[in-house]
Structure 1
Amino acid sequence: MEPSCVQFLENKTVLVTGASGFLAKVFVERVLRLQPNLKRLYLLVRASDNKAAKQRLHNEVFEKDLFRVLRKNVGDERLNALISEKVVPVPGDISLNNMGLSDSNLLQDMMQEIDIIVNSAATTRFDERYDVALGINTLGPLNILNFAKKCVKPQLLLHVSTAYVCGKRSGLILEKPFAMGETLNGKNKVDIDAEMRLVDQKLKQLKKLGYSEEETKQAMKDLGLQRAKLYGWPNTYVFTKAMGEMLLGYCRESMPIVIIRPTIITSTFSDPFPGWVEGIKTIDSVIVSLGKGLLKCFLVDHMAVCDLIPVDMVANAMIVTAAEHSRESGSHTIYHVGSSYRNPVMYKQIYEILNRFFMESPLLGRNGLPIVPNVTILSTMASFRVYTSLRYKLPLQILRLLRLIFPSQLGEKYEVLNRRLNIAMRMVKLYKPYVIFKGMDL
């Protein structure tokens, strides 16, 4: 990284939302390690109060192995002193006005001091409840923008979105902002206020009908997917992220805004060390299901490019773009952060690597024996439907009838087959837009 970008952070006060998230942790570690002369780092997490926020940051951020290089470089005592001196825990919720801050003194201090605002808070579940996703991914950025406008000396609002807000476009995808109400399929305009009213009406209707919490949750998940597909987006996550971008662009006024759109974020490439990853994300759930032998078939275009980007490269891009665009009054800049254009990797290559890995280092089943993955790869929805009909649906219909005669012998076999079908259908439903994606980000 250019020294000027590191120098830019000196004596700056930065707010990071979603601070316990995967990308935010890497960004925070990188900032503290590269520029210990940072003035202050406000880290917003969901918590009941300051004490709970501090404890959550300690457990979920600073105690992670990610910080081992920084800890080794400066020692435990110095790192703890650095965190105590520079880091301010902020209990909040970006779906609320003023980010849900109840401490008026803390709020005033932040407004006086903050130079750079980094919004990495999001719910990334593809099929999240529509009310939850709207609150965090759509209204959240607007609440942060409104807060930024109240700050005395804001230089930049950096918002982390996703490259997949662009939908199923082919070829090179340009880095351009959404117009307010723009849709991917060109059908009507999406009215964000109307979407909020629809959610309120739906929740009232479900309550009136006596729906349980679980039934309400599923109904709101279904509503999100329906609304997303109505306007051309594949799932609730990217739809609500796109609407969040629209609000930022429409309401920004003179606030300098940079929107980062990363592709599929994976483990660190080199910094602070190779291979650090946390949790099961995006493509990881497919890999885990493959290794456990749960995935028997999958829909994927062998020749399609899987656009992966290491998390440390995304963090670097965030620092560089902040340094480049701060103080540009009224600017609205979009950056795609991906690998498909310069270093494309096809799903065929990924499958071969994974297959070889699990053959050499298999997971063990409940019986203690190695699990040997055996997956049928299908490249079109038509072939997938034929396969699932012959492999699962037809046998399930037969087993359903036979189970009435031999319930003790066939009950378990029916449940196993039905579970495998449900896993395959869920994976394909969620990942179809990505595994047959034809676009390339510049």
Structure 2
Amino acid sequence: MSAPASAFRRLQGQAPGRGTGPLLDGRLRDLLAGKVIVMTGVTGFIGEQILWKVLTELPGTTPAVLVRRKGSTPARDRVVALLKKKIFTELREAAGGAEELLEARVRVIEGDLPNVPALPADLDVVLHCAGDVSFDPPIDQAFRTNTIGTRALMEQMLAAVTGPDGERTKVPHYVHISTAYTAGRRRGAIREAAHEHDVDPQAETEAGLAMLELVEAQSRTSEQLTRLRKEAERVHRQAGYLTTAADTERRRKEWVQKKLVEAGTERARSLGWTDVYTFTKALGEKVVAEVGKDIRVSVVRPAIVESSWKHPYPGWIEGFKMAEPLILAYGKGQLPEFPASPDSVVDIVPCDFVVNAIVAVCATEPEIGEPVYYHSNSGARNPLNFRDLYGYIRDYFLAHPFEGGARGAAALPEWHFPGAASVERLLFTSERAASLADRAISLAPRSKTTRRMAQELDRTTKELSFLRRYLSLYNEYGQSELHFVDDNTLALHRSLHPEDVDAFAFDSTAYDWRTYLQDVHCPAVTEPVRRMDAVRRRRGQRPRTYRDLSRPEEAPEKVLAAFDLDGTVMSGNVVETYLWARLPELGAVSRVREVADVVRRLPLWLRAERRDRGTFLRSVYRRYAGADLAALEEFVDTAMAPSILERVSPDAVRRLREHRAAGHTTVLITGAIRPLTRPLEPLFDVIVAADLATDAAGRCTGFLSGPPMVGESRAAWLRHYAALNDVDLARSHAYADSHVDLPMLSTVGNPVVVSPDVALMRAATSQQWSVVEWRASAQQPRWSLPSRS
């Protein structure tokens, strides 16, 4: 026994393992034979292994699982899918299939928390291991799951064993899975007993649920909506009002969630708990004691549950739990420090030890009205501190680094445990620097270098966001001075029948941390990541929405391919093409005057473009006033066509030809004036462009005959064209380079982003759209003008 653990035993005046709870008298399969165990949470991490353990080791026990319908998938189908997992392979093969295993051994009850349906009258044990396990759920969600759901389940349990005359037909055993951290911000030894506090679960639940209505109302005030709308406009103004409105509403919902999380955290800490998860779980325990005052009640409090030591196989784990994101981030060089006290105990316990303890508890018979508490943890007799945890994980990654890319394996940070305040200062400084860099990049001209810098910054920002979230969540756990006494649990383990020890042991001294972490846990959590990294390397940066058009497809005539012009199909912009058209007809002095006037107006035009691209285009096209439209078209055909075609990307032409070969309708949608698209007519089936209005003499008025086709107008045109021509937009394609084209790209099933601006590149990354670089082909300098004969 470790010195700290011995000291706490002496403090309590107890010998190790001399618990006060009931013990086992026989084999578990016999004690639980013929019993019906109603279980919640079987689709979760712990619940899945409990179901496996019952089906494997307790042949005479019937699990009745409460599972909710998910969308259109009934509960029964979800359980069948569960039984098809690797963990159930032997059981499934022995039964002849998942359906057969279900029919032979498992009852399914379709329902949810807190909407619990009637439970079977022949139940003997109710095992409640469902619950919100996130440390920072919204406050209303935490209460709805951990207190309201618990009360509803227990009330239905009591109703199931109560006859028509109001008399109880049997005394059920309710086993509640809580968490060791319901102790909150206490320090020192934590006994296996009810926590003393005078917080009213009912009052806190009502207040927690009321927060949703309050925060929703706050989110809809004019002040808050104005702030959110302006934030959305800064990003999406060019794309259009509907895009801005959708982003405003997204931001409002995110704000509501954030405030509900903050409300839960602050209320928990104001009453002495670390977070709303542990707070509502503690109140859930109080609900259990209140509703279960006339039945048998056991409460199991696991610490930090991680991968299995032995069963169903070493390293078994479902999903990422508490430690995995931190382990993986450290192995990839993304966790420079951690705000933990090096000598604080990190109380990890393998999942199979928790499951074995829970099953053993189900087989006990506690006294009616006297709840028994069990800590499932390792810190009492096999403590692991943060310094040793760091050392074992660092040694593992030094021996087994993640395979790096071009830069090689990531450099592993060296932790010095400077304290939470120092880590917070480092994080704040890094966040500030990233914010300033982002502002600079938003003002930089578009280029491959700018995109590369933005990608690097986005990776850094993502890492900082990860650090901020996890350091905020785990900061208190890293400073914890809790020591969970496990006398009841150890005494229960020692009462196991000798023939049950191999399958059901849960004594935390059975393993050493170096072996568990380096040979079992780390390989288990890194293997799927290594496998996915290898797959990505083999595939390379394969585009996700840039489809292979060489394969025959059904009804290709129902597919269109829409292309933006400037920056996508060809290099150039409306100011540049205006000067191409205008300057050749001017003398030297007039050319200088015209260029000077355009340069003078550029800042005004750029500000207009940031607000509304349609306004910007109208301002430029005013300068065509007085031009002869027919002469302009002739000049484009005879003089400008070579310059325009020279600037068309050969990659774009190649892709256009692939679409035509596939039988797709090719569409050019541009805000450029129609005369400038004339050289491109052979490439497209349909061209949508800006039309210059003319007077009776055929001279341009400086106005357009209709609104320019930009932003959401392009998406509306595509939907209208698709409806008229029976086009399937879900199978169609679109190509564009600017954030203003986000609505058009979002309209089709296969959007492709071409040499984008930073805002569109980020949108593409978030939505997993393909990003391609199409090279320009211009041989002449951009300032080279077409000649006018």
Shorter-chain TM-score category?
Answer: 0.7 to 0.9
C-alpha spacing 1:198/1:220, structure 2 compared with 1 (3 Å): closer
Amino acid corresponding to residue 338 of structure 1 in structure 2: N
CA–CA distance in 1 between the matches of 2:405 and 2:253? 33
Once the two structures are TM-superposed, the CA of residue 120 in structure 1 deviates from its matched residue by 0.6
RMSD: 2.9
Match of 1:280 in 2: 320
Match of 1:347 in 2: 386
CA–CA distance in 2 between the matches of 1:416 and 1:376? 22
Q: 1:8 and 2:47 equivalent?
A: no
Match of 1:431 in 2: 474
C-alpha spacing 1:114/1:50, structure 2 compared with 1 (3 Å): farther
Q: 1:28 and 2:51 equivalent?
A: yes
Cα deviation 1:187-243 (Å, max 9, x = unaligned): xx9743333334444345546777643332222222222222221212121111111
Once the two structures are TM-superposed, the CA of residue 398 in structure 1 deviates from its matched residue by 6.0
Q: 1:67 and 2:106 equivalent?
A: no
Q: 1:146 and 2:155 equivalent?
A: yes
Once the two structures are TM-superposed, the CA of residue 82 in structure 1 deviates from its matched residue by 4.2
Match of 1:219 in 2: 259
CA–CA distance in 1 between the matches of 2:183 and 2:443? 52
Whether the 8 Å CA contact 1:111–1:150 is kept in 2: the answer is: no
CA–CA distance in 2 between the matches of 1:233 and 1:148? 30
Match of 2:112 in 1: 93
Where does 1:135-214 land on structure 2 (aligned, <5 Å)? Answer: 135-152=144-161, 153-178=170-195, 181-182=198-199, 191-206=204-219, 212-214=252-254
Cα deviation 1:323-353 (Å, max 9, x = unaligned): 2235x32121111110101111122222122
CA–CA distance in 2 between the matches of 1:69 and 1:377? 47
CA–CA distance in 1 between the matches of 2:141 and 2:442? 42
CA–CA distance in 2 between the matches of 1:145 and 1:413? 52
The percent of aligned pairs where both chains have the same amino acid is 24
Match of 2:612 in 1: none
Unaligned runs of 5+ in 1: 102-106, 184-188
Match of 2:345 in 1: 305
**Structure showing greater relative contact order (alpha-carbon pairs closer than 8 Å, 6 or more residues apart):** 1
Deviates more, 1:117-126 or 1:85-94: 85-94
C-alpha spacing 1:52/1:324, structure 2 compared with 1 (3 Å): same
Where does 1:400-419 land on structure 2 (aligned, <5 Å)? Answer: 403=441, 408=450, 411-419=454-462
Whether the 8 Å CA contact 1:49–1:91 is kept in 2: the answer is: no
CA–CA distance in 1 between the matches of 2:439 and 2:256? 32
Looking at CA atoms only, which structure, 1 or 2, has the larger radius of gyration? 2
Amino acid corresponding to residue 426 of structure 1 in structure 2: R
How many residues in Structure 1 have an aligned counterpart in Structure 2?
422
Give the 3-state SS of the residue equivalent to 1:324 in structure 2.
Answer: coil
C-alpha spacing 1:195/1:181, structure 2 compared with 1 (3 Å): farther
Give the 3-state SS of the residue equivalent to 2:368 in structure 1.
Answer: coil
Whether the 8 Å CA contact 1:268–1:310 is kept in 2: the answer is: yes
Match of 1:186 in 2: none
Give the 3-state SS of the residue equivalent to 2:34 in structure 1.
Answer: coil
Match of 1:261 in 2: 301
Amino acid corresponding to residue 477 of structure 2 in structure 1: Y
C-alpha spacing 1:367/1:134, structure 2 compared with 1 (3 Å): farther
C-alpha spacing 1:79/1:55, structure 2 compared with 1 (3 Å): closer
Match of 2:643 in 1: none
C-alpha spacing 1:376/1:416, structure 2 compared with 1 (3 Å): farther
Match of 1:58 in 2: 80
Match of 1:104 in 2: none
Where does 1:385-400 land on structure 2 (aligned, <5 Å)? Answer: 385-389=424-428, 392-393=430-431, 395-396=433-434, 399=437
CA–CA distance in 1 between the matches of 2:424 and 2:123? 54
CA–CA distance in 2 between the matches of 1:368 and 1:362? 13
Amino acid corresponding to residue 195 of structure 1 in structure 2: G
Whether the 8 Å CA contact 2:84–2:92 is kept in 1: the answer is: no
Unaligned runs of 5+ in 2: 1-23, 162-169, 226-248, 486-789
Amino acid corresponding to residue 267 of structure 1 in structure 2: S
Match of 1:383 in 2: 422
Cα deviation 1:391-440 (Å, max 9, x = unaligned): x2564476467557757385455444433332222111000121221111
Once the two structures are TM-superposed, the CA of residue 273 in structure 1 deviates from its matched residue by 2.2
Give the 3-state SS of the residue equivalent to 2:120 in structure 1.
Answer: helix
Whether the 8 Å CA contact 2:151–2:287 is kept in 1: the answer is: yes
CA–CA distance in 1 between the matches of 2:109 and 2:280? 25
Give the 3-state SS of the residue equivalent to 1:158 in structure 2.
Answer: strand
Deviates more, 1:302-311 or 1:215-224: 215-224
Amino acid corresponding to residue 64 of structure 1 in structure 2: K
C-alpha spacing 1:320/1:405, structure 2 compared with 1 (3 Å): closer
Cα deviation 1:23-43 (Å, max 9, x = unaligned): 0111111111111111x2211
- Give the alignment's TM-score, normalised by structure 1: 0.86
